[in-house]
Amino acid sequence: MDYETVIGLEVHAQLLTASKMFCSCPNQFGDKPNTNICPVCTGQPGVLPVTNKKAVELAIKTALALNCTVEPSSVFARKHYFYPDLPKNLQISQYELPLATKGHLEIEVDGVKRKIGITRVHLEEDAGKLVHQGAARIMGADSSLVDYNRTGTPLMEIVSEPDLRSPREAAVYTETLANLLRYLAVTDAKMEEGSLRCDANISLRPKGEAKFGTKTEVKNINSFRAIEKALLAEEKRHEEVLSEGGKITQETRFFDDVTETTTGMRGKEYAHDYRYFPEPDLVPVEPPRTWVAEIKATIGELPWQRKARFVGLSVAGEAAQLLVNDKPLADFLDAAVKLGAKAPTVANWLIGDITAYCKENKKELAGLNFPPAELAELLTLIEKGTLSNKIAKEVLFTALQTGKPVKEIVAASGMTQISDEGELLKIAQEVVKSNPKQVEQYKGGKEAVMMFLVGQMMKATKGRANPEAATRLLKQALG
Ligand SMILES: [Zn+2]
């Protein structure tokens, strides 16, 4: 039987606030365990939480960019469960009345655009972090350590509709969303560090069937690459069970990225298991409309708007997408274009040689002393005919390696293109003289030989001849 895959994602993003969700402890990653804690975030008796306004602002900004409706009133709720990383035995989250609802995000997979519904965006607090000794998870571990630094970190949860139809779509959705969140500067969206996490609900149903099949939830997806892998593994498992006439059990499953398989963790909880009720210590979130409008005005250019603008500057669609996916590269292009460089040329250099250099040397463009003005300078030298493309590449690598200005490198090396045509003509005549066989072939009608002769001129000038001038002068020398 042919099955259709149905996927919905819950993405959790840690918000870039200075302090935690309901207390003034610093919200930062990588500190000594259990140092950024206080009576509020460790759930001591008699304390009162206070909502972090910045977290509300960042979540509203996200909701607006996702075309959601920001609700006039939303309520925090207590979600009860018992786990060693949760000192209060409850998590403050939002349940019946979330911050924002009913939006969408457009994704593009292999040139096809699709709108994925966003069910809701809500705020909650993060739990602590368990560090297991001797195993990757609590089951099978010799012991587990608890770090409460993360407890109470502001989390935003973005829940999608079950609109995704393949593991690949799910991966593209998550990457598109993460990129949007980086543009909005609401999170750094690093899956490997846990500042962005993704739980996936997946089910299969016979093609044409309107009713959803039984779903499972996949957890422990720790990288963008793992999303597609985890869902492919779970999709395959569903298909095998169903095609053998078996039934899927609704449960939470753990993805092991070494074996690339999922294993059962626990029976899926239902909402009533959490005994949700409104948090009595917090007032509802009622953002004034004027404030929402002010937040809306702070949303800058969004990734897809930027892509459209780059395409308008004659950058190819695929190149524009690559640049927009890497904000520092896109910022670099904008800065270079402002200095007069042509966008498609800048795009080629950025995606080509500059990215290759950064990858090879495991460096970030921002970490090199190579500002946009230097690339603009280099491109001007090519356009003016001072540098050939080949020499310009050498200058680029020297600039990237040493951090020296392009002008200085060019002046010191004498690598400028030979513009004295008399000098070039002499070299052309010598090339003709020393390659009689090829000259004969050329004169016999084999025009492709010209490439070889131009190559010889490049060799003789160490790449300092302009290829067009070389071709023209060779033809002159050939008579
Ligand atoms: Zn605290």
Q: How far is the CA of 152 from the centre of ligand 1 (A)?
A: 7
Domain span holding position 426: 421-478
Q: How far is the CA of 38 from the centre of ligand 1 (A)?
A: 4
Over residues 136-155, mean pLDDT: 91
Q: Are residues 381 and 456 in the same domain?
A: no
For the chain, the domain total comes to: 3
Q: Are residues 335 and 436 in the same domain?
A: no
Q: Are residues 68 and 159 in the same domain?
A: yes
Cβ contacts of 428 within 8 Å, gap of 6 or more: 457, 470, 473, 474, 476, 477
Position 266 confidence tier, pLDDT thresholds 50, 70, 90: low
Q: Are residues 309 and 284 in the same domain?
A: no
Q: How far is the CA of 225 from the centre of ligand 1 (A)?
A: 34
Q: Are residues 220 and 333 in the same domain?
A: no
Which burial class, exposed, middle or buried, applies to 62 when counting CB atoms under 10 A from its CB (0-12, 13-18, 19+)? buried
Q: How far is the CA of 173 from the centre of ligand 1 (A)?
A: 33
Q: Which two tokens stand for residue 234?
A: 């779970």
Q: How far is the CA of 39 from the centre of ligand 1 (A)?
A: 6
Over residues 71-94, mean pLDDT: 94
pLDDT tens digits along 358-390: 999 998 888 888 999 999 999 998 888 788 888
Q: How far is the CA of 120 from the centre of ligand 1 (A)?
A: 27
Give the per-residue pLDDT at 467.
79
Q: Which two tokens stand for residue 449?
A: 């030989």
Q: How far is the CA of 177 from the centre of ligand 1 (A)?
A: 29
Position 137 confidence tier, pLDDT thresholds 50, 70, 90: confident
Q: Are residues 121 and 255 in the same domain?
A: yes
Strand partners, 13: 156, 196
Q: How far is the CA of 23 from the centre of ligand 1 (A)?
A: 5
DSSP secondary structure letter of residue 164? B
Q: Are residues 244 and 322 in the same domain?
A: no
Q: Are residues 283 and 169 in the same domain?
A: yes
Q: How far is the CA of 151 from the centre of ligand 1 (A)?
A: 8
Q: Are residues 432 and 366 in the same domain?
A: no
Q: How far is the CA of 33 from the centre of ligand 1 (A)?
A: 13
Please tell me which residue, 206 or 140, carries the higher pLDDT value: 206
Q: Are residues 315 and 272 in the same domain?
A: no
Kindly tell me if the per-residue pLDDT of 268 is higher than 70.
no
Taking a C-beta distance cutoff of 8 angstroms, is the pair 218, 9 a contact?
no
- Percent of the chain at pLDDT exceeding 90: 73
Q: Are residues 370 and 463 in the same domain?
A: no
Q: How far is the CA of 18 from the centre of ligand 1 (A)?
A: 12
Give the per-residue pLDDT at 411.
80
Please tell me which residue, 386 or 160, carries the higher pLDDT value: 160
Give the per-residue pLDDT at 344.
96
Q: Which of 295, 311, 331 is the last residue of a domain?
A: 295
Q: How far is the CA of 70 from the centre of ligand 1 (A)?
A: 28
Encoded amino acid at 132, one letter = H
Q: How far is the CA of 35 from the centre of ligand 1 (A)?
A: 10
Q: Which of 247, 268, 295 is the last residue of a domain?
A: 295
Q: What is the DSSP string of 39-85?
A: TTTTT-TT------HHHHHHHHHHHHHTTPEEPS-B-EEEEE---TT
Please tell me which residue, 141 or 335, carries the higher pLDDT value: 335
Q: Are residues 258 and 286 in the same domain?
A: yes
Q: Tell me how many degrees the CA angle 227-230-231 measures, rounded to the nearest 5.
A: 85
Q: Which of 239, 266, 295 is the last residue of a domain?
A: 295
251-256 and 216-221 strand pairing: parallel
Position 249 confidence tier, pLDDT thresholds 50, 70, 90: very high
> pTM to 2 decimals?
0.83
Give the per-residue pLDDT at 267.
65
Q: How far is the CA of 41 from the centre of ligand 1 (A)?
A: 4
Q: How far is the CA of 150 from the centre of ligand 1 (A)?
A: 10
Q: Tell me the backbone φ, ψ of residue 177, rounded to 5 degrees.
A: -65, -45
Mean pLDDT of all residues in the chain? 92
Q: How far is the CA of 344 from the centre of ligand 1 (A)?
A: 50
Q: How far is the CA of 45 from the centre of ligand 1 (A)?
A: 13
Q: How far is the CA of 95 from the centre of ligand 1 (A)?
A: 23
Q: How far is the CA of 87 from the centre of ligand 1 (A)?
A: 12
Q: How far is the CA of 292 from the centre of ligand 1 (A)?
A: 28
Count of C-beta atoms within a 10 Å radius of residue 182: 18
Q: Which has the minimum average pLDDT: 209-213, 233-237, 382-386, 415-419?
A: 415-419
Q: How far is the CA of 189 from the centre of ligand 1 (A)?
A: 23
Kindly tell me if the per-residue pLDDT of 105 is higher than 80.
yes
